[in-house]
Amino acid sequence: MNYLNGLLLLVLLVSSCDKPNPDRFIAQPEAPILGADLSYVNEIEDSDAYFTWAGDTIDPYAYFAEKGANIIRLRLWHNPEHSPYSNFEDVKRSIRRAHEAGVAVLLDFHYSDFWVDPQKQERPKAWDAILDDRIMADSVYNYTFKTLSKLAEENLQPQWVQIGNETNIEILQPRDAVGNDTINWERNALLLNSGIKAARDFSDVFTQPVKIVLHIAQPENALNWFRKAEENKVSDFDIIGLSYYSKWSTYPLNELADAIDSLKTTFNKEVIIVETAYPHTLQNADHAGNILGEDALIPNYPATPEGQKNYMIKLTSEVLKAGGLGVIYWEPAWVTSTSKTLWGTGSHWDNATFFDASNSNEALPAFDFYDTKNYKDLYN
């Protein structure tokens, strides 16, 4: 990577902006980490959605904080053409809401204009013409550092940064290679380390500690991936983030603690579930098909409000028992609205939110999962 260019950018950015006001820093969250990904909230509220408790309309950010959530996860797309949301301006709005509620933020860099996941890691359209891996690495570094610096100018710097989303396959693939699951680890490590270094440099320059997360979908994929990452000198990060959905994982709930303990001890890193979910009903609130159906259920945890709550408490207990940091839920506020996805109008997740679509989006018992009294003997 041409770090001279990155260093020059760093000097120019720092000299042209004010340092963050330390009186407005949001502290690092303390374990247990109990969070929510609220990336959809701005969009669905702009599309006439609302949330209630005891019949009164509530602000979701404030309510999650009141119930005990201590981190909010937010996705960032590079330049989404399909939506005016999850771009830089929308993320600023979301971070401001989270910080006003007193909650830390995990900013999830997708390094794409749209969803990336274990089967798809598509580079941003603006970077399509980049053929040299060193130039791509410079682009990752400059974009990451500049984004964090611009947030810091407005005292909106995140406390955690996620370098890529569900990066099971090689990141930043060209469009004609999307879905290729063969990883060129020399290139993959170069690009991941560029994002990591940008976050480290930001943290050093702005004297604001930032924890760095790498994220793999499903625990059964993580041990080999992080071993390969370590062999290729991808090591300067703090936290292993996992997606854990029983629908797609070969790990049963009662064996999850073994996987987390193995990752934690093998790589000497903290471990957290950054994505999970469970349905509270099998009913659909709109015409957008729900992703989590009957095949997402496991024995003893029915698709009911109490079943959802009990599943989340059990899952979190297993994570903490193994020494993991905690659990972040995806996406508990994606209720139905007039907003559209590429696949339909409404929500594909309305049966897995923490709100009852059949009762004016009234808050459900799943919010009890944020009560640390459930885990008082499982963390220090």
Instruction: Write out the catalytic residue numbers.
Output: 166, 275
Q: At 159, list the tokens.
A: 């406390």
**CA–CA dist 52, 45 (Å, integer):** 13
CA distances from 267 to 220, 237, 249 (A): 15, 11, 21
- Strand 52-53: give its sheet, edge to edge: 56-57, 52-53, 362-363, 355-356
Residue 35 neighbours by CB under 8 Å, 6+ apart: 29, 69, 70, 71, 72, 73, 106, 326, 327, 328, 329
Instruction: Report the C-alpha dihedral over residues 108, 110, 113, 118, rounded to 10 degrees.
Output: -130
CA atoms within 13 A on the CB side of 252: 6
Q: How many residues does the chain have?
A: 380
* Widest pairwise Cα distance in the chain: 58
The 10 Å Cβ neighbour count of residue 59 is 15
Yes or no: say if 107 and 101 are a contact pair by the CB < 8 Å rule: no
Give DSSP secondary structure letters for 27-61: PPPPSSEEEEE-TTHHHHHHTT---EETTEE--HH
Give DSSP secondary structure letters for 75-102: EE-SS-SS-SSSSHHHHHHHHHHHHHTT
CA distances from 76 to 3, 263, 304 (A): 24, 27, 32
Q: Distance from first CA to last CA of the chain, Å, rounded?
A: 41
**CA–CA dist 196, 366 (Å, integer):** 34
**CA–CA dist 104, 157 (Å, integer):** 10
